[in-house]
């Protein structure tokens, strides 16, 4: 697959997969760009690698590091999908040395859905906001947000602020 980008120029993606005897599948995606920098980035560089079995998996996303002048693991995506309305996706920050967003190492965002109950947990992401949990009902859209310091906000089906119970 080939696509164009202003920053990288023409970019080619190559996906390689291998089926293991235990049912696991291993995946790697390599990128090559037409705009090569002085360090040789990026020709056939691994952008993503991981394993999955159809119901769960873990993928590591790699990126070019100006500091080390090499491709490094930047983040991880862990997911599970037991049923249509029973799923979870977790985004974990790994290499945060050149992180404009201020994430801490191993900070994560976790999205979960079990039937109509949906939640997002943001944990240890930045120095000033360590944990925030947002929950809502997928059908009614009413929900709440809880900060680790105990502050809580709630809303109803019309997105109006309401007293938390």
Q: Is the pLDDT of residue 149 over 90?
A: no
| Most confident region among 66-70, 101-105, 149-153 by mean pLDDT | 149-153
Joined tokens for residue 95 = 């290499």
Query: What average pLDDT does the segment 49-62 reach?
Result: 92
**The predicted structure's pLDDT at residue 72:** 75
Cβ-contact 86, 103 below 8 angstroms: no
pLDDT > 90: what percent of the chain? 42
| Most confident region among 19-33, 36-50, 69-83 by mean pLDDT | 19-33
Query: What average pLDDT does the segment 96-121 reach?
Result: 78
Cβ count near 70 (within 10 Å): 13
Q: Is the pLDDT of residue 3 over 70?
A: no
Q: Is the pLDDT of residue 9 over 80?
A: no
Q: Is the pLDDT of residue 7 over 70?
A: no
Q: What residues form DSSP beta bridges with 143? A: 136, 155
Q: How far is it, in rounded angstroms, from Cα 2 to Cα 22?
A: 32
**The predicted structure's pLDDT at residue 101:** 55
Q: HEC string of the chain?
A: CEEEECCCEEEEEEEEEEECCCCCEEEEEEEEECCCCCCCCCCCEEEEEEEECCCEEEEEEEEEECCCCEEEEEEEEEEEEEECCEEEEEEEECCCCCCCCCCCCCCEEEEEEECCEEEEEEECCCCCCCEEEEEEECCCCCEEEEECCCCEEEECCCCCEECCC
């Amino acid at each position: 697959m080939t696509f164009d980008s202003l920053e990288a120029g023409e970019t080619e993606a190559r996906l390689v997969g291998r089926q293991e005897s235990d049912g696991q599948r291993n995946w790697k995606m390599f990128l090559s760009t037409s705009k090569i920098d002085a360090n040789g980035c990026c020709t056939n560089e691994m952008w993503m690698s991981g394993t999955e079995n159809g119901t769960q998996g873990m993928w590591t996303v790699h990126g070019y590091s100006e500091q080390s002048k090499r491709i490094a693991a930047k983040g991880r995506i862990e997911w599970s999908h037991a049923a249509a309305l029973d799923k979870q996706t977790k985004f974990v920050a790994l290499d945060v040395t050149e992180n404009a967003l201020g994430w801490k190492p191993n900070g994560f965002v976790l999205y979960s859905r079990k039937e109509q109950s949906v939640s997002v947990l943001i944990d240890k992401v930045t120095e000033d906001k360590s944990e925030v949990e947002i929950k809502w009902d997928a059908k009614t859209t009413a929900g709440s947000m809880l900060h680790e310091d105990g502050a809580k906000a709630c809303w109803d089906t019309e997105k109006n602020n309401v007293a938390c119970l």
